Amino acid sequence: MPPAGGLARGVAGLAGIAVLVLGAVISLGVVPLGAIGAWLARRVLRRGVEPGPGIRWFASTAMVGLATLAAGAFMFASLPSGTMARAKTAVDSAQAAPPPPPPAWMDRVFPGASARAARQPRVPAKVAPALMVWGVAMAGTMMVLFYGTLGWLGGLLLSFARRGRWPAVPLPPVPRMADG
């Protein structure tokens, strides 16, 4: 398969730059790290065969995940002393307070909703922190997967613009010159 023409390569290059720049804006600079991770996978793993798009996507999301973990650890470590104790006190006092009553329109639209809401069991105080950690972990995972995929896509488009073919597509065989 011959390399793509100049127009296709130019459009892919502009699209790749747009994806990475817009991704950098919405992710506070994490999306371009995904493209760097995909590029590093190609450089490190290329020993006779080029890594496929799945390996590059994994490397992209892994790079974004490592950067996100490092940024989170830095922010957690730089919290002023006593912040966690104040947060725990705020959570405990919010859980001790009775839940607010449903709005009046709820009973008009759904008769008996206030009574059902009052009978709902509350989340036990010992389970709430685990649920909060679970929720933050799931939200972080979804964010890493989304930003890593954006970085992979931007890198994929830039690779197409540079080389004129999609990654992991084998090069055509080189014609041999006749002896003599």
Q: Where are the domains of the chain?
A: 6-163
d(CA 9, CA 145): 27
Model pTM?
0.76
d(CA 100, CA 102): 7
- Stated as kind and residue range, the H or E segment containing 107 is helix 104-109
d(CA 109, CA 95): 28
Position 69, amino acid? L
Name the DSSP letter for residue 123: P
**C-beta of residue 83 within 8 angstroms of C-beta of residue 159:** no
Digitized pLDDT (tens) for each residue of the chain, 180 residues in all: 667 888 999 999 999 999 999 999 999 999 999 999 999 988 887 766 677 888 899 999 999 999 999 999 999 999 999 998 998 888 888 877 887 888 889 888 988 888 888 788 877 878 888 898 999 999 999 999 999 999 999 999 998 999 888 876 665 566 666 654
**C-beta of residue 37 within 8 angstroms of C-beta of residue 176:** no
